[in-house]
Structure 1
Amino acid sequence: MATSIFRTSFVKGGKSLATEYLLQMKDVSKEYSGNRVLKGVNINIKAGEIHGLVGENGAGKSTLMNILFGMPVIHSTGGFGGDILIDGKIANPKSPRESMELGIGMVHQEFMLIPGFSITENIKLNREITKENLFSRILGPKMKTLDLKKMGQDSREALDKLGMSIDEWLPVAGLPVGYMQFIEIAREIDKDNLKLLVFDEPTAVLAESEADRFLKVVRKLSDMGIAILFISHRLDEIIEITDNITVLRDGEVVCNLATKDADVHKIAELMVGRKIENTNMDKTFIEETEDEDCILNIKDLYVDMPGEMVKGLNLNVRRGEILGIGGLGGQGKIGVANGIMGLYPTKGEILKDGKPLPLNQPRKALDSGVAFVTEDRRGVGLLLDDSIEHNIAISALQIKEKFLNKIVGIKMMDEKAVREHALSMIQELDIRCTGPKQLTRRLSGGNQQKVCIARALTLDPDIILVSEPTRGIDIGAKKIVLDLLVKLNKELGMTVIITSSELAELRSISDRIAIVFEGKLEGILAPNASDVDFGLMMAGEYGKEEVS
């Protein structure tokens, strides 16, 4: 283990004596298909500093980290503007390998460990230590063998720095999630030249006790002189652990401030405060009453969806409304619709029109008039290598047995009926395509989303659940999709439940907005409620000031 990060001329008491910044991101910008997702971002971090990066989903955090880590998606889409400086020198990494050579490490939200390997093998992956043997002396260095003893010693040293007493040769498979997180960190600090370590939502999968231990480790890394870039939706952790904070909103830095000058209230307001085009400001917000007409009653709902667990949520949905469901990433908002549809293990009680909706049975949910547009349209929602018309018809064929003819007692798909329906949907939803036989893979993101909605509508639902409807599509297409949901609600009287990470779009079309925090309903707000109220509710701090 090299000691470059312990240079006494550079670090004293864990904080940098130099005035120069270890990392500088200067005027960093990025466009995807003409859509500017980063707009002149500037961030400066000193050695030994813990720097928080916060912002709503879609604020640009992931794109910024992809740039810093030299990810291929950046360079295959035209690169980026601005410069990245390490120790005052322009670096601009073009690949993850270049980033690692510059001393940049990253612990991802989703673990990058190989389950079948031991802890040591994972820590030393691609940096294995070899030793000479008789064959290598004769046949060359390719015949060297692994120096397992030295690899184990290095791994033991890295684990000890993190206070982990676990055997370094245990297999990773079957270990608790918390241990995996620390193994990821051990792999990074075992690298010779580590200067900056990026954590992306590091405590999202950790229990409270594990999270506390993790934060102590982060402070220890800082005391070793390693700069930390800490990305989290948990604002209380940001306040607790960081020295300075950068707030991103809509691809721009809205504030750089010292943590000592911040609080959860202020950060939350900076994250969500924005000018929005809102067509809902003239709507009257009506408080819940016992005798109101509810199409859906959700009672004590638990959903075991990894990363988006629901933990005892209660929510009533009014007939004919557009209900928005919001909240920060990992708090459970995505799990609500997936649980209603039975796509993940669910318990509790769901009543539709006063009658129990069977749990964990997707087909029963569809039969009951509930349709779902998934957040993962490319992975789950669409048959990408099939035609538009078949994508639109497939669920109704399987669930409702629509578009079928009996020929000699055998049910056959009515190609003509499928084609006519697809043409009708294409016209009604303004799906921009060459025709119903075009493969959905070749459509733009916005038009792919319209095909997903067309498939749901073909089931003739009275409730449509739409999860992250504008994820990954451009600004113009976003408005078209949202306008379509409003049209379904107003013209067909359909109840729409829209889940989104973008508060602005929820406020633009919803009658009410339910905020989910730590798997439960934190509260319901009017779309024109203050940014402060939304920010506090999303951070789980709403109402605490009054209580205290």
Structure 2
Amino acid sequence: MSEEYVIQMKNIKKDYFGNQVLKGINLSTKKGEIHALLGENGAGKSTLMNILFGMPVIHSTGGFEGEIHIDGKKVDIKSPNEAMNLGIGMVHQEFMLIPGFNITENIKLNRETTKHNMLSKIMGSSLKSLDFDSMNKDARKDLDKLGIDIDEKSKVSGLPVGYMQFIEIAREIDKSNIKLLVFDEPTAVLTESEADNLLKAMKIISDSGIAILFITHRLDEVMEAADNITILRDGEFVAALDKKDTDVMQLAELMVGRKIESLNTNEEINNENEEIMMSIKDLKVSMPGEYVKGVNLDIKKGEILGIGGLAGQGKIGITNGIMGLYPSEGEVLLKGKKLKLNSPKDPLNNKIAFVSEDRRGIGLLLDTSIETNIVLTSMQIKGQFIKNYGLFTQRNKKEIRDHALKMINDLDIRCTGPTQITRRLSGGNQQKVCIARALTLNPDVLFVSEPTRGIDIGAKKLVLDLLVKLNKELGMTIIVTSSELGELRSVCNRIAIVAEGKIEGILKPQDSDVDFGLMMAGEYKKIHAKEEI
């Protein structure tokens, strides 16, 4: 039976430094099949594909357990080049095209056709010329297969995004040995009509006998294009389904469903007259990879509001835009007062603090002490922890030390003391230093982005417990942006889900897994709009 399958991944396990991210995954795809691979952020899809492609990150971190079979034969894929030689290709979400080359040159790159000329006949084959006529014919044939009417000699630079995606596909199907194509979120950057054309092209490719692994979060596309579906959750295999035996609602529930343990016992904030702390109106943010396309959101005083959604949908961009880190437009009101956009200082001056998702890149000065990291922003913005001597100023070392010791004690930062270099702390304790710096500003509103990214499970709970404590004891309004839906449901009063740069909807933590799944996939409004008709 295994000979039917182009690819079989059997009992695949992978851990990164003791953290098991794949826990015995099985995935099988037949010739000419479109097989959808579904799962939230962190479900294990990318790691599984890295294993299939022999990516260096897998082999430099101890390899993996399990077996891969191509056409029924066990293989050991040690590099992307070996994967390509075995007939595995990938159409990336981020385009891998050379703008200065034309379409043919991009399609035939590293597989150019050559022909003899006068010199090569005398001096040898290394001096052969490129056979552009032959390559243009091949490229034309590939584009025609996909139904794309564009001159193969056109430069890639300046072409619409939809065409670039099809050129990526044409390059892969031009390979004579291609057996399996992986489409990684191929419609994420396409318009609706372009996405429809892409799904038609996928069916043409599969009809030619090429197997397709289709990674997407758009469940309507899965139901339209896929033959079979595999769902992963938290590194575990959840289900393998035939499309005819399921629907969008079941897929949404299987992707998201998990037991939620609530850390926040606050009563739900649901009073319509509750004071609005912050009002966001038609916010647009130009953050590469996280574009915000018109967000409207009211944040209530004293709540923990979650902002969730899949990667690249814009959730990270909201906070970064409000804090002035990326070009923004729209309107943000704090207690009715308009904030100045595109000004990093204005939010800080208005008692808004921010803990960045990139704590090691921009959140911390890793090679300076804990105490310096804690007080630095307050020194710069508020002039605190400084002694003035006429024209001269000096750091108030005693005040800095006393404050740092208090923060270390209050937040339980595990360290040798306030002078310890921040780089030498664990991830969880580095995150607590970031929070300590934000709290030193004595904010009314605290934005925390990806608070548990890159820290172990024990430290995650400590950080989340801390956010709940700050909310309860200080009445602080906290906005938590996270890719981990489970942690949002454990600490938040309400959760706003972002899809395609806009708010898809707002849910309570205890709302159904189906609703969360549909919103994450950007399907909730479509389905409810149909129900109203």
Query: Counterpart of 1:528 in 2: which secondary structure?
Result: coil
CA distance 1:434–1:181, change in 2 (3 Å): farther
Q: Look up the match of 2:464.
A: 482
Are positions 1:287 and 2:236 aligned together? Answer: no
User: Residues 423-462 of structure 1 correspond to what in structure 2 (within 5 A)?
Assistant: 423-433=405-415, 436=418, 439-462=421-444
CA distance 1:380–1:197, change in 2 (3 Å): farther
The CA deviation at 1:85 is 0.9
Q: Tell me if the contact between 2:263 and 2:468 (Cα under 8 Å) persists in the aligned partners.
A: no
CA distance 1:254–1:369, change in 2 (3 Å): same
Q: Tell me if the contact between 2:3 and 2:72 (Cα under 8 Å) persists in the aligned partners.
A: no
Q: Look up the match of 1:118.
A: 102
The CA deviation at 1:402 is 3.5
Q: Look up the match of 1:547.
A: 532
The AA in structure 2 aligned to 1:187 is R
Match of residue 474, structure 2, among 492, 506, 510: 492
Deviations 1:337-391 (A, max 9, x none): 1222233332222110111111222221221111222223344434445554444
Inter-partner Cα distance in structure 1 for 2:122 and 2:385 = 72
Inter-partner Cα distance in structure 2 for 1:448 and 1:279 = 22
Q: Look up the match of 1:13.
A: none
What TM-score do you get using the length of structure 1 for normalisation? 0.89
Bigger drift between 178-187 and 323-332 goes to 323-332
Q: Look up the match of 1:58.
A: 42
Bigger drift between 64-73 and 475-484 goes to 475-484
User: Residues 279-428 of structure 1 correspond to what in structure 2 (within 5 A)?
Assistant: 279-280=263-264, 282-289=265-272, 291-406=273-388, 409-411=391-393, 418=400, 421-428=403-410
Q: Tell me if the contact between 2:515 and 2:524 (Cα under 8 Å) persists in the aligned partners.
A: no
The CA deviation at 1:276 is 2.6
Inter-partner Cα distance in structure 1 for 2:72 and 2:400 = 62
CA distance 1:471–1:111, change in 2 (3 Å): farther
Inter-partner Cα distance in structure 2 for 1:479 and 1:129 = 58
The CA deviation at 1:299 is 2.2
Inter-partner Cα distance in structure 2 for 1:120 and 1:420 = 67
Are positions 1:24 and 2:27 aligned together? Answer: no
Q: Look up the match of 1:8.
A: none
Are positions 1:525 and 2:526 aligned together? Answer: no
Inter-partner Cα distance in structure 2 for 1:267 and 1:163 = 31
Deviations 1:498-543 (A, max 9, x none): 0112211011111122223333333322212222232233343264
Match of residue 226, structure 2, among 217, 239, 242: 242
Unaligned runs of at least 5 residues, structure 2: none
The CA deviation at 1:18 is 9.2
Inter-partner Cα distance in structure 1 for 2:153 and 2:396 = 60
The CA deviation at 1:419 is 5.4
Q: Tell me if the contact between 1:513 and 1:526 (Cα under 8 Å) persists in the aligned partners.
A: yes
The AA in structure 1 aligned to 2:342 is N
Q: Tell me if the contact between 2:269 and 2:493 (Cα under 8 Å) persists in the aligned partners.
A: no
The CA deviation at 1:287 is 2.8
CA distance 1:433–1:20, change in 2 (3 Å): farther
What TM-score do you get using the length of structure 2 for normalisation? 0.91
The CA deviation at 1:252 is 0.9
The CA deviation at 1:199 is 1.1
The AA in structure 1 aligned to 2:532 is V
RMSD of aligned C-alpha atoms? 2.7
CA distance 1:383–1:134, change in 2 (3 Å): farther
The CA deviation at 1:167 is 3.0
Q: Look up the match of 1:12.
A: none
Q: Look up the match of 2:217.
A: 233
Q: Look up the match of 1:252.
A: 236
The CA deviation at 1:38 is 0.8
Q: Look up the match of 1:38.
A: 22
Match of residue 224, structure 1, among 204, 208, 212: 208
Bigger drift between 336-345 and 40-49 goes to 336-345
Inter-partner Cα distance in structure 2 for 1:401 and 1:425 = 19
CA distance 1:380–1:119, change in 2 (3 Å): farther
Inter-partner Cα distance in structure 2 for 1:314 and 1:266 = 29
Q: Look up the match of 2:489.
A: 507
Query: Counterpart of 1:265 in 2: which secondary structure?
Result: helix
Unaligned runs of at least 5 residues, structure 1: 1-16
The CA deviation at 1:49 is 0.6
CA distance 1:121–1:392, change in 2 (3 Å): farther
Q: Tell me if the contact between 2:2 and 2:72 (Cα under 8 Å) persists in the aligned partners.
A: no
CA distance 1:433–1:125, change in 2 (3 Å): farther
Query: Counterpart of 1:302 in 2: which secondary structure?
Result: strand
Query: Counterpart of 2:284 in 1: which secondary structure?
Result: strand
The CA deviation at 1:22 is 0.8
Inter-partner Cα distance in structure 2 for 1:266 and 1:211 = 23
Are positions 1:95 and 2:112 aligned together? Answer: no
Inter-partner Cα distance in structure 2 for 1:354 and 1:467 = 24
Q: Tell me if the contact between 1:247 and 1:255 (Cα under 8 Å) persists in the aligned partners.
A: yes
CA distance 1:530–1:412, change in 2 (3 Å): same
Q: Tell me if the contact between 1:233 and 1:329 (Cα under 8 Å) persists in the aligned partners.
A: no
Q: Tell me if the contact between 1:404 and 1:414 (Cα under 8 Å) persists in the aligned partners.
A: yes
Deviations 1:34-60 (A, max 9, x none): 111111111111011111111111111
Q: Tell me if the contact between 1:48 and 1:226 (Cα under 8 Å) persists in the aligned partners.
A: yes
Aligned residues: 530
Inter-partner Cα distance in structure 2 for 1:402 and 1:140 = 75
The CA deviation at 1:111 is 1.8
CA distance 1:417–1:339, change in 2 (3 Å): same
CA distance 1:192–1:428, change in 2 (3 Å): farther
The CA deviation at 1:68 is 1.1
Inter-partner Cα distance in structure 1 for 2:97 and 2:371 = 41
Deviations 1:273-331 (A, max 9, x none): 11232234x54334341x21121112232333344333332221111211111223343
Inter-partner Cα distance in structure 1 for 2:120 and 2:380 = 62
Q: Tell me if the contact between 2:43 and 2:233 (Cα under 8 Å) persists in the aligned partners.
A: yes
Bigger drift between 94-103 and 429-438 goes to 429-438
Inter-partner Cα distance in structure 1 for 2:396 and 2:139 = 63
CA distance 1:186–1:316, change in 2 (3 Å): same
Query: Counterpart of 2:4 in 1: which secondary structure?
Result: coil
The AA in structure 2 aligned to 1:84 is I
Q: Tell me if the contact between 1:396 and 1:458 (Cα under 8 Å) persists in the aligned partners.
A: yes
Query: Counterpart of 2:524 in 1: which secondary structure?
Result: coil
Are positions 1:164 and 2:148 aligned together? Answer: yes
Q: Tell me if the contact between 1:301 and 1:347 (Cα under 8 Å) persists in the aligned partners.
A: yes
The CA deviation at 1:214 is 1.3
The CA deviation at 1:113 is 2.2
Deviations 1:224-248 (A, max 9, x none): 1111111111111111111111111
CA distance 1:223–1:321, change in 2 (3 Å): same
Bigger drift between 197-206 and 456-465 goes to 456-465
Deviations 1:149-190 (A, max 9, x none): 433333333223222233334333332222221121122112
Inter-partner Cα distance in structure 1 for 2:342 and 2:281 = 15
